[in-house]
Amino acid sequence: MHIKDVLQRKGGTVVTISPDAPVSELVHVLDEHNIGAVVVSGDGTTVEGIVSERDVVRQLARSGDALAAPVSTIMTREVSSCTPQATIDELMHLMTEHRIRHVPVVVDGRLTGIVSIGDVVKMRIGELEFEREQLSTYIRS
């Protein structure tokens, strides 16, 4: 199974935030969309960084005025990404190796989607359930 299959099921909508936006706005975006990470992009199509709930918590632990700081001060600048042609197994390896939970999907430098560890687990469970069903049917016949 490929990342394009994941995006077909979940959709390609990606929530982005400007690097100049205050962290307080980021917190509202995370809450409003019930998500754990946001792609940082000045134009909504290029990936300048990624910022997660963990980044916010770490910054709050370091500084009491973290909510007024711009998102660019807490974002991860070196972002691991994948293409729609990548496999679920490749993405699982990437996520495990880099200890990340959200991976933007990029085609020719343009943001086309985002896949979370939850999306990967959901797809993998679906695959396993299908295989179990097929084996059960085979055994019964």
CATH of the domain at 129: 3.10.580.10
Higher-confidence position of 47 and 67: 47
Its domain, for residue 99, covers: 3-140
What's the mean pLDDT in 80-92? Answer: 95
Q: What share of the chain is helix, strand, coil (3-state, %, to 5)?
A: 50, 20, 30
In this prediction, residue 140 has a pLDDT band, given cuts at 50, 70 and 90, of confident
What's the mean pLDDT in 81-106? Answer: 95
111 contacts 41 by C-beta, under 8 angstroms: yes
Classify 72 as helix, strand or coil.
Answer: helix
Tokens at 38, concatenated: 């946001």
Count: domains in the chain: 1
The model's pTM: 0.85
Paired with 16 in beta bridges are: 39
84 contacts 103 by C-beta, under 8 angstroms: no
